[in-house]
Amino acid sequence: MIQKRGEKMENDMPLYDRLTEHIKLGRSSFHTPGHKGNFFTPELMELDLTELPDTDALFEAEGVILRCEKAAARLFGAERSLISAGGCTLAIQAMLRLASLRGGRLLLARNSHRSAVNAAALLGIEPVWIMPEGGKSYTGRITPEAVEQAFDEHPDITACYITSPSYYGELCDVKGIAGVCHSHGALLLVDNAHGSHLAFMKENVHPLALGADMTACSLHKTLPVLTGGALLNISSGTLAECAKSAMSLFGSTSPSYMIMASIDKCISYMFSEGAAAYRKCEDDVGELKKLAAGLGIPQPEGHCDPLRLTLNTASRGISGERAQLDFFEKMNIDCEFCDGENAVMIFTPFNTERDILRVREAISELGKLREISEINGRNEVPPELPEKVLSLREAVLSIPEMISVADAAGRIAADTVCPCPPGVPLIMPGELIDEKIREALADNNIHKLMVCR
């Protein structure tokens, strides 16, 4: 048989081989998963089992899985914690389902991850949008004042959904926002995908400890858990009653036992030596942040995730993407994410001393580049929201069509379009693409998008 270029042959394993080769490179991982390949032993592979009389069942948990969930609840100070083997996405879907059961409207941060927008569409939730503030180079923060104003304008809001921390590490004033929500009898839901470890910092700044009613946490991003392992944490027994059925609405009937077992192992580690290891990591990253600040490399301002390092490479005249290619890659560093202005790195105690040394060296090298006085903010979002023509649900479930941005004026978006995820989308499903939005899409190098037919 003649193999076409790039085509998989029957005896060929392109993905498997690439992953194996990547591991052999010995690069320093500053991306997810949080275990960085340094926590689990190969025996975990043998635990790929299924629902058996003695292994419990995720959506009808009453045995070992329930015990594991109860331990997670104790660890995070929740009334109830539910395991997800379908990532934080599944926890977000369940969280929104639970919020929707109360009726009323949802206040949804405009910088929400697409998993929340898609879940809202599937559940028929038509959100009131709230804009983050101060996100010129980053995603920005929702403030208690803005939430208060939203309640004044929409007294039928019964739940508010925010993301904290942001991808860049910005933390919202969760305590303040929770206070506002509770004074209006509303729930606060937090997408804490990037912040599971916040419960183990010197100061516990996990959103649940600060008053959130529910948090969706991607354990796998910052704790030693296999990719796909997440938790839904709930602060009240009433909400918890329907939580399993809310999760089973979206979840696979074959959740991975390896992922669930990895969560169990992580919980046990965090109860023992894990917390101290994370606090030590906080010191290490704090030193790197100080080094960068001393060299005049800007980082997000205000209250931030202690373990997230966001370096504004644009201050040295190079985009984050270019810095990854020209700098970090050559120093064997893999970042979590690079955009037009920043390089973002996730640290956990599973980074080695060699990893930390490499970053120290990279920061010093970056500091030697000439400083640029004026940095252009990326991801400029037009201040007014686009006109809404269809509901989220109608747009997401419409028959979509991929078109060129050049032809997009006058069409209705069928998908979320974000210039540089994570960020504030320029357009959401159901909104009209006018000439101004079309230009903004083109300016952000977006060439194609999905519209409703």
Ligand X SMILES: Cc1ncc(COP(=O)(O)O)c(C=O)c1O
85 sits near ligand X (criterion: CB under 6 A): no
Parallel, antiparallel, or unpaired: how do β-strands 342-346 and 187-191 relate?
unpaired
| Identity of the residue, 423 or 429, whose beta carbon is nearer to ligand X in the bound complex | 423
- Among positions 81, 115, 143, 235, the unique one binding ligand X when judged by CB under 6 A: 115
Could you tell me the two tokens for 77?
């100070």
93 φ/ψ angles, rounded to the nearest 5 degrees? -60, -45
| Identity of the residue, 300 or 412, whose beta carbon is nearer to ligand X in the bound complex | 300
Interface segment toward ligand X; rule CB under 6 A; list 84-92, 316-324, 386-394, 412-420:
84-92
Interface segment toward ligand X; rule CB under 6 A; list 45-53, 81-89, 202-210, 305-313:
81-89
SS3 state of residue 332: coil
Name the minimum Å distance from CB 364 to ligand X.
30
Name the minimum Å distance from CB 282 to ligand X.
21
Which residues in 27-57 are b (16+ Cβ under 10 Å) and which e? Answer: bbbbbbbbbbeebbeeebeebeeebeeeebe
| Identity of the residue, 167 or 350, whose beta carbon is nearer to ligand X in the bound complex | 167
Name the minimum Å distance from CB 341 to ligand X.
18
| Identity of the residue, 186 or 219, whose beta carbon is nearer to ligand X in the bound complex | 219
- Among positions 35, 36, 110, 113, the unique one binding ligand X when judged by CB under 6 A: 113
Q: What is the Cα–Cα distance from 406 to 23, expressed in whole angstroms?
A: 42
88 sits near ligand X (criterion: CB under 6 A): yes
Q: Which residues contact 238 (CB under 8 A, 6 or more apart)?
A: none
Peptide bond into 422 cis (omega under 30): yes
Q: How many CB atoms lie within 10 A of CB 207?
A: 30
| Identity of the residue, 191 or 431, whose beta carbon is nearer to ligand X in the bound complex | 191
Residues 156 and 182: beta-carbon distance below 8 Å? no
Peptide bond into 421 cis (omega under 30): no
- Among positions 170, 191, 264, 321, the unique one binding ligand X when judged by CB under 6 A: 191
CA distances from 130 to 120, 225, 415 (A): 15, 32, 19
- Among positions 58, 68, 193, 199, the unique one binding ligand X when judged by CB under 6 A: 193
| Contacts with ligand X, 274-313, as mask; x by CB under 6 A | ----------------------------------------
| Identity of the residue, 344 or 451, whose beta carbon is nearer to ligand X in the bound complex | 344
Amino acid identity of residue 282, one-letter, is E
Name the minimum Å distance from CB 86 to ligand X.
7
87 sits near ligand X (criterion: CB under 6 A): yes
| Identity of the residue, 205 or 362, whose beta carbon is nearer to ligand X in the bound complex | 205
CA distances from 160 to 41, 185, 359 (A): 41, 11, 38
Peptide bond into 165 cis (omega under 30): yes
Q: How many residues bind ligand X (CB under 6 A)?
A: 12
Q: What is the Cα–Cα distance from 411 to 392, expressed in whole angstroms?
A: 15
Beta-bridge partners for 157:
105
362 sits near ligand X (criterion: CB under 6 A): no
Residues 42 and 196: beta-carbon distance below 8 Å? no
| Identity of the residue, 86 or 349, whose beta carbon is nearer to ligand X in the bound complex | 86
Q: Which of residues 411-440 bind ligand X (CB under 6 A)?
A: 422
Residue 448 buriedness (CB in 10 A; 0-12 / 13-18 / 19+): middle
| Identity of the residue, 167 or 250, whose beta carbon is nearer to ligand X in the bound complex | 167
| Residue in the shown chain whose Cβ atom is closest to ligand X | 87
| Identity of the residue, 115 or 235, whose beta carbon is nearer to ligand X in the bound complex | 115
- Among positions 28, 29, 81, 89, the unique one binding ligand X when judged by CB under 6 A: 89
Q: Which of residues 209-248 bind ligand X (CB under 6 A)?
A: 218, 230
Could you tell me the two tokens for 213?
């009613």
Name the minimum Å distance from CB 346 to ligand X.
11
Task: Give the distance, in angstroms, between the CA of residue 449 and the centroid of all CA atoms in the same chain.
Answer: 23
Give the footprint of ligand X on this chain (CB under 6 A).
Answer: 87-89, 113, 115, 163, 167, 191, 193, 218, 230, 422
